[in-house]
Amino acid sequence: MACLTRTWTAAVFGLLVLIGANPFPANAEDLIAEAEIVGCKDKNIFGTGVLIERESAEGIKQVDVSLIVKGLKDGKHAVHIHETAACQPCGAAQGHHDPGPNSNTKPDAPRFNHPYHMGDLVNLEVENGVGVMQTTTNRVTLSDGRLSIFDEDGASFIIHTNEDQYCDREGELRKGCAGGSRDACGIIKRR
Ligand SMILES: [Cu+2]
């Protein structure tokens, strides 16, 4: 099944590149990482995530993030980089990646950092069972440094059941506003 999963996602990514839908072609000097996405409970959920770090002309590190996932219910699903490289169970991925002196990894409670955690991304949108998300962040790095996702305990993608409402006002911060329960997870590994 895992082999079939990889074959399917590789084929879909190949298709995206062929039709020009992947705006993030990698160059030889880019740092690349990837994750195999698996359902937390539902084995029919699977996919792939790819991260590519590049430097801007000024030397700012930017990371292009692409995900494609099959088997989620149609609609929007929150996606974050969570703080630990662990998916069994999905709760083992812990809170949102948020290193630094003012870190606070909790997702949806008053006076916490959501949606400005370093690992907060954008919603993945699912149509007819296929979800695609592409974004660029400069809040994390693949290379070493204070925002690196490759710290001592690594990091994982978590895809949630519901959409991220990007709740950032005290009155909006209520349980579940960052996506609620966890549908899928993928440990991020250097390629
Ligand atoms: Cu999350």
The structural domains of the chain, ordered by start, are 31-190 (2.60.40.200)
Interval between CA 113 and ligand 1 midpoint (Å): 13
Interval between CA 105 and ligand 1 midpoint (Å): 10
Helix/strand/coil (H/E/C) assignment for every residue in 82-108: ECCCCCCCHHHHCCECCCCCCCCCCCC
Pick the closest to residue 84 from 19, 152, 31, 28 (CA basis).
Answer: 152
Interval between CA 49 and ligand 1 midpoint (Å): 15
The pair phi, psi for residue 189, each rounded to 5°, is -125, 145
The pair phi, psi for residue 143, each rounded to 5°, is -75, 170
Interval between CA 185 and ligand 1 midpoint (Å): 10
Tokens of 189: 């590994």
Report the alpha-carbon distance of residue 50 to residue 64 in Å, rounded.
8
Instruction: Count CB-CB contacts under 10 A for residue 125.
Output: 15
CA distances (Å), 9 to each of 12, 13, 19, in order?
5, 6, 15
Tokens of 75: 């609609």
Interval between CA 67 and ligand 1 midpoint (Å): 15
pLDDT of residue 121: 98
Q: What's this model's pTM, rounded to 2 decimal places? A: 0.86
Average pLDDT across the chain, whole number: 88
**pLDDT band at 4; cut points 50, 70, 90:** low
Does an H or E element contain 9, and which?
Answer: helix 2-18
Q: What is the pLDDT of residues 92-149, one digit of tens each?
A: 999 999 997 777 777 775 567 889 899 999 999 999 999 999 999 999 999 999 999 9
Tokens of 77: 């699903």
Report the alpha-carbon distance of residue 119 to residue 130 in Å, rounded.
23
Interval between CA 80 and ligand 1 midpoint (Å): 4
108: CB partners within 8 A, 6+ apart: 114, 167, 173, 174, 175, 176, 177, 178
pLDDT of residue 102: 77
Q: What is the average per-residue pLDDT within 14-31?
A: 62
* pLDDT at position 9 over 60: no
